[in-house]
């Protein structure tokens, strides 16, 4: 396989094998509608030959919103018009687009959503710290229907498909993990595999009932995590086997949960930026911030992995052995040679990138002109921390980045 050849995700034809992975935009209004800044971000990407974009995660219900300001939503028919303009613009550049739909579950704050925090169990997130209301069977059925309704809205708005966010510790992921899911009803982990796939199965079935079997469904998963009882390689392979049996359109492989967020994306730990902008630190006293700098942060950093090139590729290779469903791998790709290694040498169908596209929306064109080109992204992670701010996502290391949403 070659980087710059056409390839399919389900019935959707992509012009090359490089995808913009879901990236939080921080550019929707208070009601979840895309603003001009949101359109600006996507126009910059589509105009520079990226094959497809997966939107940042959009909420399907108000109680499933993230704590970050500026999240887009997909919970009302009124949103179809705005998203239709987005998909029309992207398709004008021959750029395919998939709407990522999600529910945060326990990984949010009731002070932000105005709703009870809910979860698969009463186990609270180490990071968000609110004890969730345990979802009842009728509530779970309602959420399954909400995922289906969001998919219908996406289809009507012209999206080429949807991606289910089953990674990073959000609600679907919470059902998958036996370390969190301690239910004893039909949504418990499968005794044979110790993976809680039934919730995800019902969501996929609901979307197909509503949108038809030809509407592509992508699924993003975390290959493992950082809990004391980790999601094992055996469980990961069981999950891949389940997705293979469900005949999803593509599987994107990531890592981790928001309880150890820097192990999702890796790189630098911008402590001063965290103290200034993070929801849990910015209003703390100067004395507490001193403690954070000198005691809390040094301890936290011991839990985080160093950035390694292509750090999720080993998991993608494991998945490749047991399924022919298209595999997308994200994480640590910073050069044309690394992308070529995954696609040409290893037979992975697609490589997706996040932070490099924040720094350089025209990265694909640069790779076309120079196959060995290396991204300017230094993984400083200021962009990730600034998701807690009121500013649309942009590169803070290279202030002249064309991703900057100044329009």
Q: What is residue 400's predicted lDDT score, i.e. its pLDDT?
A: 52
Q: What is residue 278's predicted lDDT score, i.e. its pLDDT?
A: 94
Range of lowest pLDDT (139-148, 309-318, 397-406) = 397-406
Q: What is residue 390's predicted lDDT score, i.e. its pLDDT?
A: 85
- Model pTM greater than 0.85? yes
Q: What is residue 389's predicted lDDT score, i.e. its pLDDT?
A: 87
Q: What is residue 265's predicted lDDT score, i.e. its pLDDT?
A: 95
Q: What is the CATH number of domain 7-269+304-388?
A: 3.20.20.70
Average pLDDT, the chain: 96
Q: Is residue 33's pLDDT more than 90?
A: yes
How far, in Å, CA of 201 to CA of 243, rounded? 9
Q: What is the pLDDT of residues 365-378, one digit of tens each?
A: 999 999 999 999 99
Residue 399 binned pLDDT confidence (cut-offs 50, 70, 90): confident
Pair type for strands 133-134 and 161-166? unpaired
Residue 96 host element (H or E): strand 96-102
Q: Is residue 209's pLDDT more than 70?
A: yes
How far, in Å, CA of 60 to CA of 64, rounded? 7
* Percentage of the chain lying above the pLDDT 70 cut: 98
Q: What is residue 152's predicted lDDT score, i.e. its pLDDT?
A: 99
Please give the angle made by the CA atoms of 403, 404 and 407, to the nearest 5 degrees. 110
End-to-end CA gap in the chain: 38
Q: What is the dihedral of CA 397, 47, 405, 267, to 10 degrees?
A: -30
CA nearest 15: which of 92, 98, 95? 95
Q: Is residue 404's pLDDT more than 60?
A: no
What the block records as the tokens of 20 is 């913009």
């Amino acid at each position: 396989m070659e980087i710059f050849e056409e390839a399919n995700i389900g019935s959707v034809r992509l012009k090359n094998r490089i995808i913009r992975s879901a990236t939080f935009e921080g550019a929707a209004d208070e009601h979840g509608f895309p603003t001009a800044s949101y359109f600006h971000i996507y126009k910059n990407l589509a105009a520079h030959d990226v094959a497809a974009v997966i939107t940042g995660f959009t909420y399907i219900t108000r109680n499933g919103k993230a704590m970050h300001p500026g999240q887009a939503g997909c919970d009302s028919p009124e949103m179809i018009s705005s998203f239709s303009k987005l998909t029309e613009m992207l398709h004008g550049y021959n750029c395919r687009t998939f709407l990522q739909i999600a529910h945060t579950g326990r990984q949010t704050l009731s002070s932000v959503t105005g709703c009870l925090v809910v979860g698969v169990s009463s186990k609270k997130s180490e990071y968000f710290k609110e004890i969730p209301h345990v979802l009842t069977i009728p509530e779970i059925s309602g959420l399954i229907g909400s995922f289906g309704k969001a998919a219908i809205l996406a289809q009507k708005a012209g999206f080429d498909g949807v991606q289910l966010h089953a990674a990073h510790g959000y609600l679907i992921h919470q059902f998958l993990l036996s370390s969190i899911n301690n239910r004893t009803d039909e949504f418990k982990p499968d005794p044979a595999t110790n993976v809680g796939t039934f919730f995800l199965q019902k969501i996929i079935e609901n979307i197909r009932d509503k949108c038809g079997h030809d509407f592509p469904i992508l699924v993003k998963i975390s290959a493992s995590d950082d809990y004391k009882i980790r999601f094992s390689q055996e469980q990961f392979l069981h999950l891949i086997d389940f997705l293979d049996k469900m005949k999803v359109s593509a599987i994107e492989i990531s890592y981790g949960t928001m309880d150890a967020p820097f192990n999702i994306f890796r790189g630098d730990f911008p402590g001063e930026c965290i103290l200034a902008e993070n929801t849990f630190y910015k209003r703390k006293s100067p004395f507490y911030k001193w403690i954070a700098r000198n005691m809390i942060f040094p301890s936290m950093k011991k839990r985080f992995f160093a950035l390694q090139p292509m750090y999720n590729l080993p998991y993608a290779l494991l998945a490749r052995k047991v399924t022919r469903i298209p595999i997308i791998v994200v994480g640590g790709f910073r050069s044309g040679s690394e992308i070529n290694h995954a696609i040409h040498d290893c037979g992975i169908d697609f490589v997706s990138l996040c932070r490099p596209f924040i720094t350089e929306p025209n990265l694909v064109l640069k790779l076309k002109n120079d196959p060995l080109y290396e991204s300017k992204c230094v993984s400083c992670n200021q962009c990730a921390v600034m998701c807690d701010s009121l500013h649309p996502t942009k590169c803070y290391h290279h202030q002249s980045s064309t991703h900057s949403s100044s329009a």
